[in-house]
Amino acid sequence: MRTTDTSNQAGFTLIEIMVAVTISGLVFLGAFGVIGAGVNTQMFVREMSDAGRQGPAILSQLTADLNNAAFYNFQDNVFFFGKKQEGGSEARFDQIHFVTHRNSLAADPDLSGENDVFSPLTEVSWILRRGEGEFYQLARRESPYVDDKPFQGGYYRLISDRVLSFKIQYTGWDLGFGTDDEPAEPEEEVEDGDETLVWEDEWISKTKGCLPSAVKIELLIAPDVDPDVMRRMQVNKRLTQLEKSYIHIALLPQFREGLPTIRETANWDGTIREPQNTGPGAAGARGQGRGGENGDPNAPRGGGPGGRGQPGQAGGPQNANPGGSPNQSVNNFLNQLRGSSGGGSGGGLNQLFQGGGNRPPR
């Protein structure tokens, strides 16, 4: 009987197997490390880019609110209120309240499920409240019902929970409403052409009497990065050192003292009043008005001392349009601006350009 000697057959020893397993483990460990680092980097970049988009989006919405700010006829002119609030170190946690013309969707939550309800005027507030850790929550208040308490009520919506500072400054006219003191004289005379803006930390319409001309917004926001991701990436910095700062200036609608629109804007009843042609007009200024009194259409043309005065007044005290076509009543407004309405035009822009001069009779 033949037997086979197996003592000289080739094979792996235990040591060789252990070395192979160790090498394979190191290779897989390195591969997983590279994959993990790539995932962490992707998450970090995504969070940083989200923070980069969040800041401009916040400023865009606040700017849109300010661009449509309304001059509303509240009691004591309380329609705009910007207040300074200081936090730790140099941080600011300001708040701002005003009325805006932006439409408010779903004025009543009970009705919003069935029909969208819009409000042409909206009370808006931007405020900060304490959040987690060293962060603050930026919230926007919106009330579609404008009442005698423009800074209360409504619904709050969280805008960001990673805000570190929210600073607002104002510049504009000071009409001095609500005070009996006369405006103080400047200590130093400012030369003409000096356009340096003076920024104030607060703006209260009750004493200012108007909206600010411009609002400067400074926002400091931190990215929402997972601390574990930060540690795995070995970033030996505080999370707030990755903060992003944004500065933007928003312009507001302007109403000035002495303009009739400062109150009519809030109290306008919707009636469009037709312009009146009662001035001497362009024809009268050129000495070509009707010769009759009060713009008589049957009187001969020419005459009158310089075309003005009683005999030769083009328009007369009446709202006449002698010499014009029947359709000219439709264009009274444009004719008044041009200073011409047939033979009986109103005092318009021609007097400004011609100086109201008279042409001597030929």
Distance of CA 48 to the CA centre of its chain: 27
If you count them, how many residues does the chain have? 362
Query: Which residue's structure tokens are 């100086």?
Result: 355
Given pLDDT bands bounded at 50, 70 and 90, which one contains residue 70? confident
Strands (E), 25-154: 80-83, 95-100, 104-105, 118-119, 122-130, 136-143
User: Higher confidence at residue 318 or residue 19?
Assistant: 19
Model pLDDT, residue 236: 46
Model pLDDT, residue 186: 45
What's the average model confidence in pLDDT over 195-218?
Answer: 85
Strands (E), 144-255: 155-171, 203-204, 214-221, 244-251
Q: Which residues have a Cβ under 8 Å from the Cβ of 252 and sit 6 or more positions away?
A: 66, 67, 69, 172, 211, 212, 213, 214, 215
User: Higher confidence at residue 358 or residue 298?
Assistant: 298
Q: What is the pLDDT of residues 172-206, one digit of tens each?
A: 876 655 444 454 454 455 454 445 668 999 998 88
Q: Which of 38-42, 114-118, 169-173, 291-295 is predicted least confidently?
A: 291-295
- Radius of gyration for the chain, computed over Cα atoms and rounded to the nearest angstrom: 37
Given pLDDT bands bounded at 50, 70 and 90, which one contains residue 147? confident
Classify 115 as helix, strand or coil. coil
Flag whether the pTM goes above 0.85.
no
What's the average model confidence in pLDDT over 315-320?
Answer: 41
Model pLDDT, residue 175: 60
Model pLDDT, residue 124: 92
